[in-house]
Structure 1
Amino acid sequence: MSFPAPSTPPSSNPARTAAEAAARARAAAPALAALPLPTRASLLRGLSGALGENSAHLAAVAEDETRLGLERLHGEIRRTQAQLEMFADVVEDGAFLDVMIDPPDAAAKPAPRPDIRRMLVPLGPVAVFSASNFPFAFSVLGGDTASALAAGCPVVVKAHEGHPRLSDLTRELVARTVPEDVLSVVHGREEGRSLVTDPAIRAVGFTGSTAVGRALFDLAGSRPDPIPFYGELGSLNPVVVTPAACAARGADIAREYVASVTLGQGQFCTKPGLLFLPARHGLDDTLRREIAAIAPAPLLGRWIAAAYWETLGSLARHQAVSPLHLPGTPTDPRNSAPALLTTSAKDIRAFPEELLRECFGPASLVVTYDSHEDLLETLDVLPGSLTTTVHGQEGAEDGLVRRLTGAGNTGRLIWNGWPTGVAVTPAMHHGGPWPATTAPLHTSVGSRAVARWMRPVAFQNVPDALLPEPLRSTNPWTVPQHMDGAAISG
């Protein structure tokens, strides 16, 4: 089974409402789900190829809308291609279908067991909300779209208002690879809300602010038929420096920390927003010097810059906060200027609601602690994060390090490194407890992201010829099958 190429050029396709796009996606869903896995994988590889062939044009349009820099944007295109290729590999392998077969057993106790076969099937059409800070990797052809198509789900993308022309151009350039009914783009906040409540949409992927994400999450849950909402929201991404690490390489850590905070003007979801240092750390001058050397630069939009200055100002005015480096407001209303503030662990515990606020942009809060217990008690009050980073010394302070490197309230624990720069690998988990995400069991990066768009179905005593191909004894799709928990083929 295959899809016909569009009969008209992409530019002549009329703009669609959310309802129209969702209805067409629902009509296209059975054919996409029935595609043999090699064909589905080829579709993903074709999307990757279309990105590569048009990368110069795409990057130029993205730079005009986002001002992220051509080097960064070309790197993001390559990352997006890598995601599509990875999911093509996942589809070709077939293990993502999680096929399990339990043959009948008349002698089973306490009762005879029927023939039961289980696999994952696509949910159906899904909605994906693009992110402002990743116009490729978390946008029209980003990880949510790639994983949903890999699962066999048509996608309706709600374009981000920060790069609307790029969103339409991306869709137009891949129109010969995947039909508009399988991958379409809509614009506008009202259309986005309509997508979440449209009965044809069976799940939603979102990357953005906590306020907007929570509103859409509540909307998805208030439907007559609630649907999964996979939202990546806000994250403070704390960095903890032990006394031994501070003494051994504190200046290097301070320099690297500022570089991570200001990477991409602090507009990464994994930007470290808290730096825990031992009291009397002696790094204030280094931190000031490093942050002052970073020039102001445009943020992704005026609305982001306005939120940055509002949040930074609110934190700086708090009675428990002192400035390490607090620049004046730039003349360009779209610009940011890097900043560092400082407070104590005790004050974090006293004012968690006021001080534990994500400041999206190149600003961070340095938190000093007086003792191990002071540090650990404060970490216990932090909200869930995508990442937690620990800088420590092996062989020193082993008791503290063991407590710090437990799972904690985070989705990814980093040792002596930095969270910015999320590797696209099968083992990656990009998620975490609330408010980092609305679904901490799942990831939006890595091969496991495909599981969000699928559900298990068990088939009991169904004749072999009537079973889906992956469950048949002949296994025509040659996917990995497990019988009684053991691998038998694939």
Structure 2
Amino acid sequence: MITGKNYIGNTLSAKGATTYQTCNPKTNQPNEVHFTEATSEEIDQAVHMASQAFTPFQNCSGAKRSQFLNAIADEIEALGDTLVQTYISETGLPEGRAKGERGRTVGQLRMFAEYITTDEWRNPKISGESKELRQYLIPLGPVVVFGASNFPLAYATAGGDTASALAAGCPVIVKSHPMHAGTGELVGSAIQKAAQKTGMPEGVFSNLNSSGIEVGVQLVNHPDVKAVGFTGSIRGGRALYDLAAQRKEPIPVFAEMGSVNPVIITNNALKEQGETIAQTYADSITLGVGQFCTNPGLILGIKSEELSSFVEDLGKKTAAIDAYCMLHPAIHSAYEQKGEAIINEPETTVVAAHQGDRDENYAQAKIVTVSGDAFLKNSKLHQEVFGPFSMVVQCDDEAQLLQIIGGLEGQLTGTIIAQEEDYKDLSPLVERLQNRVGRIVFNGVPTGVAVADAMTHGGPYPASSDSRFTAVGSQAIKRWVRPFSYQDFPEELLPEILKS
């Protein structure tokens, strides 16, 4: 049952007078439940409880926190079809996507549960002949997590930020995303049940409702909050980053933000497999209605007959794919506005756009093209259009292509599609991309982010606010810890992990 209330520790609370509803983007009608925004009193209570829970929670053994994470996974699975149908009603996404994302969410929780069963991840070190210095990683404190709009499970209430922060020993307060508050409450209930079943201190998790920015601002400004996790727009992430930096005690904001994910295709690759590449990328551009942070929004090649044919073929294949519902009317409206702004630039040519019948909030996939000169001169063309939209830049030569890559803002991914005969000439391209992206994909597509130890999901600003960290994979836990050293301590006073 969805109540529309806030979870403050183990208690459901609705002290405020402001309410809102989520929207079913397929029907363009509000869903039934009214959600009550958290008040300043409830925010203070949630953060105070998290602060009180921090010491006992960080002192829990890795095995105990592992049990907690596995219990969360179990409780999410136990929500069954209720969670799936709520997810569908708030996102317009199909059942297969809902179940797939639930599987990924549960998988992340179980991965971190396994990762912390031993203390090796805390990187213990002992230095000096007399072993006078001993260091390990300790948690930062209460963490605020902002749910993402495009992944209501995997990047939201019990998503990667929450899972990694809890694994590290940090209590979490989630600012639930207003577009899927019902999904968030259900998952929040699963976390609370798991916390109680495994004996976690009350306050280790809270879930707060908010349709605007006020709750988020108060959370980031609260002196007992020690770090922030965010997935969303550049504007939103930067606002939180600036807010956190202006505090009396500045705190880190780990924000994963915008990216156009450049794809470079050589002419040799186009000669050998141009039609296959066109279909692969038409599918990638429209996957999930283009609502992935790794969507290939920028494709670069060197002018040739092969590139001209590819552009035309990509346009036809993309336009032939059925339109589908976007996550929310506001997201659809932003897609239309940003796409039109790009199209209305005088240098831009629309190659193709989906022409079939479309219901309200259904996205019209578009492929546009510009010259390398035009792209270099007009920074407006560099901006992300969140949705099934991609721009092909036709460069004069390799030097111009490298110049374009070097001038891009930071990106999550870069992709190279090449033949073996190209390998000897790829070093300058790889080096230039390496300075602009967090991950290079070779002969593949950027959509699809593996939850794995070696995954980097981040990159130079504005792809993320701190390129030293990843938001996906086991290493995401390192965002929520800091190094700490004991010097000249008696053996009996040291934590077990640092004893000889």
TM-score under structure 1 length normalisation: 0.90
Note closer, same or farther for the CA distance 1:39–1:323 as it changes in structure 2 (3 Å cut): same
The alignment status of 1:361 with 2:387, answered yes or no, reads yes
- CA offsets 1:31-83 (integer angstroms, 9 cap, x no match): 11010111111111111111222232211110010011110110111111111
The alignment status of 1:177 with 2:194, answered yes or no, reads yes
Q: 1:345 aligns with which of 372, 388, 398?
A: 372
Note closer, same or farther for the CA distance 1:154–1:330 as it changes in structure 2 (3 Å cut): farther
Q: Tell me the number of residue pairs that the alignment of Structure 1 and Structure 2 aligns.
A: 456
Counterpart of 2:100 in structure 1 is 75
Whether contact under 8 Å (2:370, 2:391) holds in the other structure is yes
Q: CA deviation at 1:361?
A: 0.5
Letter in 2 for 1:379: I
Counterpart of 2:290 in structure 1 is 266
SS in 2 for 1:405: helix
Counterpart of 2:442 in structure 1 is 415
Unaligned runs of 5+ in 2: 1-7, 16-37, 197-201
Counterpart of 1:27 in structure 2 is 52
Alignment RMSD, CA only? 1.8
Distance in 1, matches of 2:428 and 2:80, equals 46
Counterpart of 1:93 in structure 2 is 118
Counterpart of 2:209 in structure 1 is 187
Q: 1:446 aligns with which of 456, 470, 473?
A: 473
Aligned runs of 1:101-140 on 2, under 5 Å?
101-105=126-130, 115-140=132-157
Letter in 1 for 2:116: V
Q: 1:303 aligns with which of 326, 330, 346?
A: 330
Letter in 2 for 1:95: E
Whether contact under 8 Å (2:322, 2:354) holds in the other structure is no
Distance in 1, matches of 2:43 and 2:265, equals 48
Whether contact under 8 Å (2:301, 2:401) holds in the other structure is no
Whether contact under 8 Å (1:346, 1:378) holds in the other structure is no
Distance in 1, matches of 2:277 and 2:143, equals 42
Distance in 2, matches of 1:365 and 1:422, equals 22
Unaligned runs of 5+ in 1: 1-7, 106-113, 474-490
Whether contact under 8 Å (2:10, 2:203) holds in the other structure is no
Counterpart of 1:479 in structure 2 is none
Whether contact under 8 Å (1:288, 1:325) holds in the other structure is yes
Aligned runs of 1:383-398 on 2, under 5 Å?
383-394=409-420, 396-398=421-423
Whether contact under 8 Å (2:414, 2:439) holds in the other structure is yes
Counterpart of 1:377 in structure 2 is 403
Q: CA deviation at 1:426?
A: 0.6
Letter in 1 for 2:132: D
Distance in 2, matches of 1:447 and 1:327, equals 39
Note closer, same or farther for the CA distance 1:435–1:12 as it changes in structure 2 (3 Å cut): closer
Whether contact under 8 Å (1:77, 1:137) holds in the other structure is yes
Letter in 2 for 1:227: I
Q: CA deviation at 1:214?
A: 0.7
Note closer, same or farther for the CA distance 1:330–1:125 as it changes in structure 2 (3 Å cut): farther
Note closer, same or farther for the CA distance 1:24–1:11 as it changes in structure 2 (3 Å cut): closer
Counterpart of 2:252 in structure 1 is 228
Q: CA deviation at 1:469?
A: 2.3
- CA offsets 1:376-432 (integer angstroms, 9 cap, x no match): 1111111110000000011x1334322222323100000000111100011101000
Between stretches 288-297 and 74-83, larger displacement belongs to 288-297
Aligned runs of 1:213-224 on 2, under 5 Å?
213-224=237-248
TM-score under structure 2 length normalisation: 0.88
Counterpart of 1:239 in structure 2 is 263
Note closer, same or farther for the CA distance 1:233–1:9 as it changes in structure 2 (3 Å cut): closer
Counterpart of 1:488 in structure 2 is none
SS in 1 for 2:350: strand
SS in 2 for 1:118: strand
Q: CA deviation at 1:118?
A: 0.5
> Identity over the aligned pairs, expressed in percent?
37
The alignment status of 1:66 with 2:91, answered yes or no, reads yes
